[in-house]
């Protein structure tokens, strides 16, 4: 089986082909960083227009790179939500057009499930496993029991961790993309313990997260500092922020490990996925946590943590071989929770 995957849910335009031998035959990602950098964040209208301008070409390049013709495809998968609805529509309509023209199955993939199942593509992880999903729009702990089978153990009550990284970086003056720039700045810190920042929710019952207070604390640390901010002040504060986030993620995940051991005793693998999973400090903290508890730790290659189409193709393939295909009248979804039975999360920054 070979599946074409299309990803257009935010600011990466991507196309990939993956087969059922867990081989990525091609994986092309066009970043829009330069388009959005002047605005300090993603502008939905600009993102959607860029997807329209480039997607057809990227699909052709992915097919050529893989040495695969449309007649050899088993199905076409597209990220159908959650995400910026204009971009999602571009990808879904393109996938539907190819599926209709070539009489192929169409698979609407939850973008979050793409992240969740990447570890099965790269590391052949078996069910069940505990997933920490950390990205610009999401921060959740989920027990993954199968394709389409998720139990949410914890979520953010305000902002996602990736959003917190980006906003903290903007406050410090590190530019866009904030998360990657903050990580680089933290590496040059001379006194990472210089600033005292809170660890939101640390030690509290449950597995929920909170990051809005941490961002406020960063702003308060900046107030007495000389302007313009020196590189060293910025680096020390970036390191303090990154450490605080690591402490919060480790604490919440430790509670989820204990919960998962009760709910699914066979669960002994911790997976981290999403854009923030590319952060080396975060990966190291989670790896250490899993080792202490006797769990296996899996983090996909950095290139497959950020948005890409290989994860969409793989999730589509997983669904296709179970017979889980979608009609061509499927409507793209700006909101699409993995666990539809979980209580609605509260907070202004929450994205279900």
Where would I find the H helices in the chain? 33-36, 44-66, 85-102, 111-123, 161-172, 178-186, 212-222, 231-263, 280-292, 310-320
pLDDT of residue 349 exceeding 50: no
Contact indicator for 76, 6 with CB cutoff of 8 Å? yes
Measured CA to CA, the distance from residue 314 to residue 122 in angstroms comes to: 10
Q: Model confidence over 141-186: pLDDT tens digits?
A: 999 999 999 999 999 999 999 999 999 999 999 998 899 999 999 9
Measured CA to CA, the distance from residue 43 to residue 35 in angstroms comes to: 9
Residue-averaged pLDDT of the chain: 96
Q: Model confidence over 62-105: pLDDT tens digits?
A: 999 999 999 999 999 999 999 999 999 999 999 999 999 999 99
- Contacts of residue 153, defined as CB under 8 A and 6 or more positions apart, other chains included, come to 130, 141, 142, 143, 207, 256, 259, 260
pLDDT of residue 38 exceeding 90: no
Contact indicator for 266, 130 with CB cutoff of 8 Å? no
Contact indicator for 297, 290 with CB cutoff of 8 Å? yes
Residue the block writes with tokens 């600011």: 11
pLDDT for 346 = 63
Measured CA to CA, the distance from residue 108 to residue 114 in angstroms comes to: 11
CATH 3.30.420.40 assigned to domain 2-116+303-320? The reply is yes
Q: Model confidence over 188-240: pLDDT tens digits?
A: 999 999 999 999 999 999 999 999 999 999 999 999 999 999 999 999 999 99
Contact indicator for 5, 58 with CB cutoff of 8 Å? no
- Contacts of residue 149, defined as CB under 8 A and 6 or more positions apart, other chains included, come to none
Domains 2-116+303-320 and 127-300 share a fold: yes
- Angle, in degrees to the nearest 10, between helices 231-263 and 280-292: 30
Q: Is 153 exposed, middle or buried (0-12, 13-18, 19+ CB in 10 A)?
A: buried
Measured CA to CA, the distance from residue 6 to residue 28 in angstroms comes to: 10
- Angle, in degrees to the nearest 10, between helices 161-172 and 178-186: 70
pLDDT above 70 as % of the chain? 98
How remote is the C-alpha of 276 from its chain's centroid? Answer: 7
pLDDT of residue 352 exceeding 70: no
**Pairing mode, strands 2-7 and 75-79:** parallel
pLDDT for 348 = 42
If one looks up domain 127-300 in CATH, what number appears? 3.30.420.40
Residue 18's beta-bridge partner residues?
3, 24
Q: What is the 8-class DSSP label of residue 278?
A: G
How remote is the C-alpha of 322 from its chain's centroid? Answer: 24
Residue 47's beta-bridge partner residues?
none
Measured CA to CA, the distance from residue 323 to residue 131 in angstroms comes to: 24
Q: Model confidence over 247-262: pLDDT tens digits?
A: 999 999 999 999 999 9
Q: Model confidence over 118-145: pLDDT tens digits?
A: 999 999 999 999 999 999 999 999 999 9
- Angle, in degrees to the nearest 10, between helices 212-222 and 231-263: 160
Residue the block writes with tokens 């669960």: 267
Q: What is the mean pLDDT of residues 13-39?
A: 95
The pair of structure tokens assigned to 334 is: 């700006």
pLDDT of residue 40 exceeding 90: no
The pair of structure tokens assigned to 162 is: 């990736």
Q: Model confidence over 276-318: pLDDT tens digits?
A: 999 999 999 999 999 999 999 999 999 999 999 999 999 999 9
pLDDT for 203 = 92
pLDDT for 13 = 98
What residue spans define the domains of the chain? 2-116+303-320, 127-300
């Amino acid at each position: 089986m070979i599946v074409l995957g299309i990803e257009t849910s935010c600011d990466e335009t991507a196309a990939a082909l993956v087969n059922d031998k867990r081989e990525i035959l091609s994986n092309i990602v066009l970043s829009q960083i330069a388009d959005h950098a002047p605005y300090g964040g993603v502008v939905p209208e600009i993102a959607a227009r860029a997807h329209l301008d480039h997607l057809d070409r990227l699909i052709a390049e992915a097919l050529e790179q893989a040495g695969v013709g449309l007649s050899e495809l088993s199905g076409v998968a597209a990220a159908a939500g959650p995400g910026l609805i204009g971009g999602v529509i571009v990808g879904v309509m393109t996938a539907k057009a190819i599926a209709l023209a070539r009489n192929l199955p169409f698979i609407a993939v939850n973008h979050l499930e793409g992240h969740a199942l990447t570890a099965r593509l790269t590391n052949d992880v078996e069910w069940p496993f505990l997933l920490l999903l950390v990205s610009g729009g999401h921060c959740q702990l989920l027990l993954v029991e199968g394709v389409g089978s998720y139990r949410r153990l914890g979520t953010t009550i305000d902002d996602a961790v990736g959003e917190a990284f980006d906003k903290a970086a903007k406050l410090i003056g590190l530019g866009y993309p904030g998360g990657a720039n903050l990580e680089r700045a933290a590496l040059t810190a001379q006194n990472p313990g210089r600033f005292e920042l809170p660890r939101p929710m640390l030690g509290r019952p449950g597995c929920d997260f909170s990051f809005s207070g941490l961002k406020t604390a960063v702003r308060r640390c900046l107030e007495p500092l000389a302007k313009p901010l020196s590189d060293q002040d910025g680096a020390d504060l970036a390191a303090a922020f990154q450490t605080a986030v690591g402490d919060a993620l480790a604490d919440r995940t430790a509670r989820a490990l204990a919960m998962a051991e009760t709910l699914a005793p066979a669960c002994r693998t911790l997976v981290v996925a999403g854009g923030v999973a590319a952060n080396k400090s975060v990966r190291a903290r989670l790896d250490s946590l899993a080792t202490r508890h006797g769990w296996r730790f899996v983090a996909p290659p950095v290139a497959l943590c950020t948005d890409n189409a290989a994860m969409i193709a793989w999730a589509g393939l997983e669904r296709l071989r179970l017979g889980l295909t979608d009609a061509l009248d499927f409507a793209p979804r700006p909101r699409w929770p993995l666990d539809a039975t979980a209580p609605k999360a509260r907070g202004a920054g929450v994205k279900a």
